[in-house]
Structure 1
Amino acid sequence: MSHRMPPQVLAALARTQCPPAAAELLTASQYSKRLLLLRALADEAGADPRFDAHWRLLAMAERADPDAVRQVVGYPLVGAWAARALRRVHGDDTPSGTPASGDVGLADGLAAVAAAAAARAGVPFRVRLPLRRGALVLPSVGALTHPTARDVLIEGGRGGAPCPPGFRRLPLTALPPAGPHAAPVPFDDLDPHRAPDGGSGPAVVPTDRATDDDRARWHTLWRDAMALLERAAPERAAELAALLGCVVPLRTPAAGLVAATMPDAFGAAFTSRPTTAVDLAATLAHEIQHSKLAAVLDLVPLHRAGPEPRHWAPWRPDPRPFGGLLQGLYAHVALADLWGRIAALRGPEERTAWDAHARCWAQAGAVLPGLVQAPELTAEGREFAQAMADAYARLPAYPGALGPRARAAAEVEAARRVRIGRRMGTALR
């Protein structure tokens, strides 16, 4: 299916907004991308009879209940599996850089997707699948575990898929809906494809299965974060309700909070557990900006830059590729808006929120003028950057932000001078 980005929708997204038309377009286009990935895997599988059988089961489930299949195929971590599987087929995701040999897990991976879809759709099926580390995970559904079994025969029908004798069922739990008309948000501490790609760094590690106490703390933070977003920025809460497909808990590193996004897992937010609800609200808003922009870039080429990390980003100690700079800037404009709104509520987090607002405001303001004029931008990219700059310019001149903004601007300018000094020193060597 072809998806066209109307200029008015692109302009709204550039302003970091996400009206219903934009959310529908991004979600639909990402689902089409998912179907294309599965089709590409089918082409790579060729005449594999197991893959073909699972493909037919998925098609049967789709005919019986398209919404059930959409829930599974559209699940963020199915995208992570499909993209990684395709990269492995082409030798792009192995440590040696050489093509994976023989069994790359295409049939088993599709079998788990097809079984989950058939179980949701109430379609009769019978599939034998191997266990990995004592567990079989059905995406968006849950897991079956056994201490010694190597495989499991799953059978299902109109009554769903009963747990086989001797196995333990671990359901996929969920956080409460992010809005009045939204569905519960899966809290995925099971899926084997929930680890963000290696480029995110060694600190980005998924947690093991959450304990009841862990889950209770997440629920409390989540409830309070959603309530805060509804008060401060209801359009950000609506954006999360429309786009957030799952939350993947990460281990908390020694340095504190860590979060990440996977372009292939549209709608997934990977984050360690923050200590406060306001931090969780900001983290979720931050990560959904990255998902939005990644989906936009799948539809509209905003720049022609390569992957070379040579651009200064005041929110990072290392140089960034142009695409990374654009991603970071997009998130920081949204966060400057959100933190200002939270601070304006004059709640207990007011002082922290003004500082965070000022930091994001100063960092975005240091990069925006250069990015708007960047030769790497396409025509659509220039319009996108200008609309983002206009949104930044319309941020309110909060009286409470004057002092924090001045301090943050001075810190960013000092960091810029340090960078210029380093570049000059390198050039003179």
Structure 2
Amino acid sequence: MEFARRRLSPHDLNVLAHGSGGAPVARWLADTQLGRGLLLVWGVMDTARRVGHVEAERTRQAYRLLAELQRRHPEEAEAVLGHPATGAWALGALRALQGAEAPGRPRTDPAGLSALAAAVMIRAGVRGAVRVPAADGAVMLPSLGRADVPGDEVLVRSSGRGAEVTAPGVRVAIPADPRTDAPGWHGLRTVTASAHGFTIRAVLDDLDAWRLPGAMVGARLGGAEVAEWRSLLEEAWEVLTCHHWTTATECQTIVRALVPLLAPSSGQRSASSRETFGAVGTSRPVDALGLAVTFAHEVQHAKLAAVLDTVSLIRSDSGRRYYAPWREDPRPVEGLLQGAYAHLGVSGFWRRQRHHERGMAAMRAHAQFARWRTAALRVTRTLLASGELTDEGMAFATGMRRTLEAWEAEHVPAPALLRARREAEQHRTRWRLRNCAASESG
């Protein structure tokens, strides 16, 4: 496989620090993450060989097949290797081989590289067959779907006109359109939206065990629920492309998967992970505006995660923990930086959106802008004073501060400003009572 180490230019790092980036920088970040995924896949093969894993030879053969398929069918290979869950699986497999498997994560087999090869083979319509490990009565073909089959191993066969998964006494035919369901086959559905010349396409991933490790993922969606998600995405995409062009172009480039999460008792839950670049996890939004701001929030996390893989912004963890106005628990410096950068994006969203709302909705938007610009600015100042950032980290946080200070000077109606301050004070009081009480009881 071909991969090259990339370094972010000082200019692009400065643009990102101010909260922007747009399509060109987003494409560069996405390419670095694809390269990272390729290195992880190679690492699985190489580490299996070095530690003498019982499946080392099968893993090597699967890697060689995958590399050949990538050479001949680069677009189909990128769809599989760039699928968010693929990176998480490869990292999990590598950690397991190194004896550092995270508790609670799905079981891995390095020979699972053959599942990646099978998925590329099917996407490319290539004739061939490959044996793939199965677990818990199923085999997952990343970016395509899941086949229900018994046993520990299956044969995935592609005829060039169709594909099937077989095990002793069982045959599961994969539909010509793998996104659809069939007896024994559960396809990964896609959601698409187009507006104002922009189109976003994403897998609605409610199947893969690695779709968002550690998150409270939801169960398989029914047909009516999928239709609701598609409708919400179309409405949210209208909002983003109409008023938030930079965010829309970044989402168009970065987002590859939407992962439905379990709904909290109130409000909306969202999540992302450095392990699954391009995946946005969210419970079903209350409305399209809720999904639009989730995109603005989570794409910031994705951008910063990719930056942190190429540039050292933070010194080693000192063990110190800090107050974050958007969390109920004390945060380490990396979590603090991630939260501040995400809420820089949230502030920017409401800064623009408040001018397109009317009545009470406008007042709420002004309040959201006021609350999160101040919260992100205060946390950014905490980061700059912490002594835990590298020189490049200090420059990055300084760029964030400049943007937020400019926004802090913008007018917000007095009632909205009062509401924002009251909500911030309530959170701070609640946080102190919870965490100081926990500290005293400990």
After TM superposition, list the pairs within 5 Å mapping 1:281-292 onto structure 2.
Answer: 281-292=292-303
Aligned residues of 2:212 and 2:272 also touching (Cα < 8 A):
no
**Alpha-carbon offset, residue 55 of structure 1:** 1.1
Identity of aligned residues (%): 34
1:176 corresponds to 2:180: no
**Alpha-carbon offset, residue 244 of structure 1:** 0.4
Match of 2:101 in 1: 93
User: Cα 1:41–1:362, aligned 2, differ >3 Å: closer, same or farther?
Assistant: same
Deviations along 1:56-113, one digit per CA (max 9) or x if unpaired, are 210221121112111111111100101111122223224499xx9xx95110x21111
Quote the Cα distance in structure 1 between the aligned partners of 2:313 and 2:48.
34
Match of 1:200 in 2: none
**Alpha-carbon offset, residue 120 of structure 1:** 1.8
1:185 corresponds to 2:187: no
**Alpha-carbon offset, residue 387 of structure 1:** 0.7
Quote the Cα distance in structure 2 between the aligned partners of 1:290 and 1:94.
22
**Alpha-carbon offset, residue 240 of structure 1:** 0.5
Aligned letter for 1:55? Y
1:355 corresponds to 2:357: no
Deviations along 1:330-372, one digit per CA (max 9) or x if unpaired, are 0111101101212210247323322322221231132222323
**Alpha-carbon offset, residue 36 of structure 1:** 1.1
Quote the Cα distance in structure 2 between the aligned partners of 1:178 and 1:376.
43
- Which shifted more, 315-324 or 43-52? 43-52
Aligned residues of 1:362 and 1:405 also touching (Cα < 8 A):
no
The equivalent position to 2:257 in structure 1, one of 246, 253, 256, is 246
**Alpha-carbon offset, residue 17 of structure 1:** 0.9
Aligned residues of 1:177 and 1:185 also touching (Cα < 8 A):
no
For residue 154 of structure 2, give the secondary structure of its aligned residue in structure 1.
strand
Match of 1:11 in 2: 14
Match of 1:32 in 2: 35
Match of 2:156 in 1: 154
Deviations along 1:130-156, one digit per CA (max 9) or x if unpaired, are 44343322111122235x566432111
1:207 corresponds to 2:218: yes
Aligned residues of 2:62 and 2:117 also touching (Cα < 8 A):
yes
Aligned residues of 2:260 and 2:281 also touching (Cα < 8 A):
yes
Aligned residues of 1:182 and 1:242 also touching (Cα < 8 A):
no
Quote the Cα distance in structure 2 between the aligned partners of 1:425 and 1:127.
54
**Alpha-carbon offset, residue 256 of structure 1:** 3.5
**Alpha-carbon offset, residue 416 of structure 1:** 5.1
RMSD between superposed Cα atoms in Å: 2.9
TM normalised by structure 2 equals 0.86
Quote the Cα distance in structure 2 between the aligned partners of 1:291 and 1:7.
19
Match of 2:109 in 1: 105
**Alpha-carbon offset, residue 23 of structure 1:** 1.1
1:143 corresponds to 2:150: no
After TM superposition, list the pairs within 5 Å mapping 1:211-290 onto structure 2.
Answer: 211-290=222-301
Match of 1:80 in 2: 88
Match of 1:65 in 2: 73
User: Cα 1:62–1:289, aligned 2, differ >3 Å: closer, same or farther?
Assistant: same
Aligned residues of 2:85 and 2:142 also touching (Cα < 8 A):
yes
Aligned letter for 1:41? V
- Which shifted more, 169-178 or 284-293? 169-178
For residue 386 of structure 2, give the secondary structure of its aligned residue in structure 1.
coil
**Alpha-carbon offset, residue 158 of structure 1:** 3.0
**Alpha-carbon offset, residue 425 of structure 1:** 12
For residue 394 of structure 1, give the secondary structure of its aligned residue in structure 2.
helix
Aligned residues of 1:77 and 1:194 also touching (Cα < 8 A):
yes
Quote the Cα distance in structure 2 between the aligned partners of 1:215 and 1:425.
41
For residue 302 of structure 2, give the secondary structure of its aligned residue in structure 1.
helix
Deviations along 1:32-64, one digit per CA (max 9) or x if unpaired, are 111111111111211622112211210221121
Where in structure 2 are there 5+ consecutive unaligned residues?
Answer: 173-182
1:394 corresponds to 2:411: no
User: Cα 1:158–1:417, aligned 2, differ >3 Å: closer, same or farther?
Assistant: closer
Match of 1:201 in 2: none
Deviations along 1:299-350, one digit per CA (max 9) or x if unpaired, are 1111104062511112112110000000000011110110121221024732
Aligned letter for 2:189? T
Aligned residues of 2:374 and 2:408 also touching (Cα < 8 A):
no
TM normalised by structure 1 equals 0.88
Quote the Cα distance in structure 2 between the aligned partners of 1:32 and 1:118.
20
The equivalent position to 1:20 in structure 2, one of 12, 18, 23, is 23
For residue 51 of structure 1, give the secondary structure of its aligned residue in structure 2.
helix
Aligned letter for 1:136? V
Match of 2:44 in 1: 41
User: Cα 1:420–1:187, aligned 2, differ >3 Å: closer, same or farther?
Assistant: closer
Aligned residues of 1:125 and 1:155 also touching (Cα < 8 A):
yes
The equivalent position to 1:119 in structure 2, one of 118, 122, 128, is 122
User: Cα 1:410–1:190, aligned 2, differ >3 Å: closer, same or farther?
Assistant: closer
- Which shifted more, 19-28 or 398-407? 398-407
Aligned letter for 1:228? V
User: Cα 1:425–1:159, aligned 2, differ >3 Å: closer, same or farther?
Assistant: closer
Deviations along 1:10-32, one digit per CA (max 9) or x if unpaired, are 01111111223311221111111
**Alpha-carbon offset, residue 212 of structure 1:** 0.8
Where in structure 1 are there 5+ consecutive unaligned residues?
Answer: 198-203
User: Cα 1:299–1:402, aligned 2, differ >3 Å: closer, same or farther?
Assistant: farther
Count how many residue pairs are aligned between Structure 1 and Structure 2.
416
1:56 corresponds to 2:64: yes
Match of 2:330 in 1: 319
Quote the Cα distance in structure 1 between the aligned partners of 2:76 and 2:223.
29
Quote the Cα distance in structure 1 between the aligned partners of 2:349 and 2:192.
22
User: Cα 1:231–1:41, aligned 2, differ >3 Å: closer, same or farther?
Assistant: same
User: Cα 1:341–1:245, aligned 2, differ >3 Å: closer, same or farther?
Assistant: same
Match of 2:350 in 1: 339
